């Protein structure tokens, strides 16, 4: 049923400001550079008090301690372990770990193991990269493509094994885990066969099953037949475009997907399964190419006015009603999906990135907006409530005037809900790069800083963080430094953040 502008206007008039800003992340608004932080949540620098003089216990775990190894600064009492390192660690099959780590999910494996599925954001032909994803027999979609993802098994005794989950895909950026225990890896590209060296069309979502129960292993412990992942098939029903992330609504069965693209800005999408379809391991790949319905959002404010771009929102708590408009040609045979709509048909946003399901809805990141958007910012986090069909702005980071300053934040990307309350955010902006947390009261604190300089002493550069996710037992935070490609396990005295 469509939520009409009249319905939303009437609902807004009845409830006034009472459309609840639900969710545990409400106010990443107090992050440095944020706009519209509430008075009671503003912390005077260095005083430990709020704007009214009330005392606060400092959130987080204290200041970051420089790493003598020059890799990862952490709070005192915390430590890290390198699980995989491109060009240094090796797969079971003998090749080096592929580079350009990105989206990651963690699953509980047998006998106390943890299984991590790790995307490798490698674009274009294989000759472009020193360490592409190996073309493991039976697991290849397009032998010309360099990307894919690997499965990393971490055993209780500390042993780490890694093997290919899928190969021959392109620009595997983010993705998302499913309620049935698999990983949806997303291609952030629109390359078609014959373009950029490709022999098949790209820009799809693929399902990868990390479960050892779906895999056979040789008597020597090496890979033999990863049955569930053999003969990769794109889930064309979810559309072909520059995919970023995906989440599953466990109640309704809808899938929400983000598009990271420009000229024009990309879109948020919702896929509704066909009647009678039941989700489960491997079932998405059995769908017909046109199964279900793929739609993009059309937003309007409480006055019924159409909103062309999410960057128009300049105040925390802004609420938009959402209608959904069907995509004409989801496989983009002649025209990219986002260009199939006139400007007045749908609502766009720049750099739609990570997503996470929580609090009965979807948290959605818009990493930044510049001249290609109506208004500039250095990060938004929205919350979509499926029942109310509303988008609520939870986070708005102002443009960071000094990205090289430690402590300033910009460019949120991958996010995850923390078992200790609030969010953990991977920073992908300019200058210094952080992992940082945000409490349920909206106060932010540092968790890690990337100290690996991949530039020069005179012109330092630091790669983005990606793939932030907790282990199933909540004891370990996994994250990657994308370049050169390092997967890290962070442990320490985690505790629930004081309200």
pLDDT in tens, 415-434: 998 999 888 999 988 889 99
What pLDDT, on the 0 to 100 scale, is given for residue 441?
59
| Per-residue pLDDT tens digits for 102-140 | 999 999 999 999 999 999 999 999 999 999 999 999 999
Q: How many domains does the chain have?
A: 1
Q: Under DSSP, is residue 227 helix (H, G, I), strand (E, B) or coil?
A: helix
pLDDT of 496 reads: 87
Q: Is residue 121 part of a domain?
A: yes
pLDDT-flagged residues of the chain (< 50)? 1-6, 8-55, 214-225
Q: What is the pLDDT of residue 235?
A: 98
Query: According to the model, what pLDDT value does residue 189 have?
Result: 97
At 407 the pLDDT is 75
What residues have CB less than 8 Å from 169, skipping those under 6 apart?
133, 141, 142, 145, 147, 148, 149, 185, 187, 202, 204, 206, 232
Q: Is residue 249 part of a domain?
A: no
451 part of a folded domain: no
Kindly report, residue by residue over 62-105, the tens digit of the pLDDT.
999 999 999 999 999 999 999 999 999 999 999 999 999 999 99
Domain of 120, in residue numbers:
96-234
CA 463 centroid distance within chain: 16
Q: Which two tokens stand for residue 115?
A: 């299984």
In a domain, 155, yes or no: yes
pLDDT at 41: 34
Instruction: Give the contacts of 174 (CB within 8 A, at least 6 positions apart).
Output: 102, 103, 119, 186, 188, 244, 245, 246, 258, 353, 354, 355, 414
CA–centroid distance for 246 within its chain: 8
Residue-level pLDDT at 53: 41
* Beta bridge partners of residue 223, listed in sequence order: 217
DSSP class per residue in 336-368: -GGGSS-TTTS-BBSSEEEEEEETTEEEEEE--
Domain assignment present for 64: no
Tell me if the bond preceding 194 is cis, omega within 30° of 0. no
- Judge residue 394's burial from the number of C-beta atoms within 10 Å of its C-beta, 0-12 exposed, 13-18 middle, 19 or more buried: buried
The answer to whether position 443 is within a domain reads: no
């Amino acid at each position: 049923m469509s939520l009409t502008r009249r319905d939303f206007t009437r609902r807004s008039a009845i409830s006034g400001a009472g459309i609840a800003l639900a969710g545990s992340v409400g106010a990443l608004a107090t992050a440095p550079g944020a706009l519209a932080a509430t008075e009671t949540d503003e912390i005077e620098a260095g005083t430990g008090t709020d704007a009214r003089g009330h005392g606060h216990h400092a959130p987080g775990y204290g200041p970051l301690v420089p790493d003598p190894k020059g890799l990862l600064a952490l709070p005192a009492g915390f430590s890290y372990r390198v699980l995989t390192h491109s060009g240094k660690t090796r797969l079971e099959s003998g090749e080096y770990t592929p580079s350009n780590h990105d989206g990651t999910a963690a699953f509980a494996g047998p006998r106390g193991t943890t299984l991590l599925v790790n995307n490798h954001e490698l674009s274009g032909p294989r000759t472009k990269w020193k360490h592409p994803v190996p073309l493991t027999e039976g697991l290849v979609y397009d032998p010309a493509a360099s990307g894919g993802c690997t499965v990393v098994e971490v055993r209780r005794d500390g042993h780490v094994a890694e093997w290919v989950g899928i190969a021959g895909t392109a620009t595997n950026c983010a993705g998302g885990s499913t309620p049935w225990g698999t990983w949806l890896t997303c291609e952030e590209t629109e390359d078609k066969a014959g373009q950029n060296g490709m022999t098949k069309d790209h820009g799809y979502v693929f399902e990868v099953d990390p479960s050892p129960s779906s895999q056979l292993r040789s008597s020597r412990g090496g890979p033999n037949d990863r049955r569930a992942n053999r003969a990769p098939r794109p889930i064309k029903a979810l559309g072909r475009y520059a995919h970023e992330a995906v989440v599953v609504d466990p109640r309704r069965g809808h899938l929400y997907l983000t598009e990271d693209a420009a000229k024009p800005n990309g879109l948020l999408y919702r896929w509704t399964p066909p009647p009678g379809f039941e989700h489960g391991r491997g079932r998405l790949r059995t769908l017909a190419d046109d199964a279900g319905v793929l739609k993009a959002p059309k937003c309007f404010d409480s006055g019924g006015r159409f909103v062309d771009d999410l960057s128009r929102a300049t105040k925390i708590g802004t609420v938009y009603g959402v209608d959904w408009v069907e995509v004409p040609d989801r496989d983009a045979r002649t025209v990219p999906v986002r260009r199939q709509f006139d400007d007045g048909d749908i609502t766009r946003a720049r750099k739609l990135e990570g997503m996470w399901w929580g609090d009965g809805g979807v948290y959605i990141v818009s990493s930044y907006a510049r001249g290609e958007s109506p208004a500039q910012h250095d990060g938004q986090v929205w919350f979509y409530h499926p029942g109310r069909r509303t988008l609520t702005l939870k986070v708005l980071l102002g443009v960071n005037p000094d990205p090289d300053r430690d402590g300033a934040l910009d460019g949120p990307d991958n996010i995850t809900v923390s078992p200790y309350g609030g969010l953990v955010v991977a920073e992908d902006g300019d200058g210094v790069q952080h992992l940082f947390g945000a409490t349920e009261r909206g106060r932010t604190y540092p968790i890690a800083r990337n100290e690996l300089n991949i530039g020069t002493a005179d012109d330092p550069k630091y790669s983005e963080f990606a793939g932030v996710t907790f282990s199933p037992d909540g004891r370990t935070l996994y994250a990657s430094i994308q370049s050169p490609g390092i997967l890290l396990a962070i442990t320490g005295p985690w505790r629930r953040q004081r309200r």
